Amino acid sequence: MSLMPLGSAEPVMGMPDGVLAWTTTRADGSYGLGSADPVGEVIERWARLQDGLASLRIDRLATAHQVHGAVVERHQGGWRGWLRLRGVDGHVTNTPGTALAVTIADCTPVFVAHPGGAVAALHAGWRGTAARILDVGFDALAAMGYPADECVVHLGPSICGACYEVGPEVLGAVYGVPAAGKGLLDVREVLHDHARRRGVNQIFPSSACTRCHADRFFSHRGGDSGRQLGVIALQSS
């Protein structure tokens, strides 16, 4: 495991050498550009993050305005600074010196790494999971020469199944079969199954629930406007 020392960051398990990955917590403050925090404070957090990455020779940070979809963008070199796309919920790269980040507050931050030098960060709520964003991420990595069955996957802090009651339309969309009524949904469990079906053997699900552990994490269902940040980066050699 590699972890960038950032406040009280939640560790990401199983990452290969040369990969930094972590999830921020409530103690680190909100990274949500639409949160209730003053804009200047939020932007200052992003600036400190970029400064910290730069000190590790990571000079590219790719993010996006997320829409709960399954679009995954590939990022190559040739640029520096903070990139913010629109309509994108996942990122992949095999370019050293590049960090990828997703904002979350009940949805699952999915961290994928291949020991050959490629990473992905995916934002997976129920809609993205139903749209198979993890498969889209695996396909993007495979097209770059990094097969899914050789990857490591960490499923970060998100709302747990016991806390997440949803309607039949959500259950039907996620599981692909009609549901008779409301039920509990464990998105991490579904993502775990999707990874297994792609032959992934190294899957590390976090035990942290954003709703149960509201003292540590922001939770949308808990009424928070704040957002955690899930970050994964390829260090320069």
Spacing of C-alpha 198 from chain mean position: 19
Q: Hey, CA dihedral for 24, 96, 77, 142, is it positive or negative?
A: negative
- Classify residue 4: in a domain, yes or no: no
Confidence check: pLDDT of 54 > 50: yes
Number of domains in the chain: 1
What number is the average pLDDT over the span 154-164?
98
pLDDT, one tens digit per residue, over 92-148 is 999 999 999 999 999 999 999 999 999 999 999 999 999 999 999 999 999 999 999
| Cα distance between residue 154 and residue 102, in whole Å | 14
Q: Please give the average per-residue pLDDT across 218-237, as a whole number.
A: 95
Does residue 127 form part of some domain? yes
- Tell me, yes or no, whether 42 lies in a domain: yes
Note down the domain range covering 28. 10-234
Residue 162 lies in a domain: yes
pLDDT at res. 8: 73
How does residue 9 score in pLDDT terms, banded at 50, 70 and 90?
confident
> Looking at the domain assignment, is residue 197 inside a domain?
yes
CATH number of the domain encompassing residue 164: 3.60.140.10
Q: Is residue 199 part of a domain?
A: yes
Eight-class DSSP state of 158: B
**In the predicted model, what is the mean pLDDT of residues 15-40?**
95
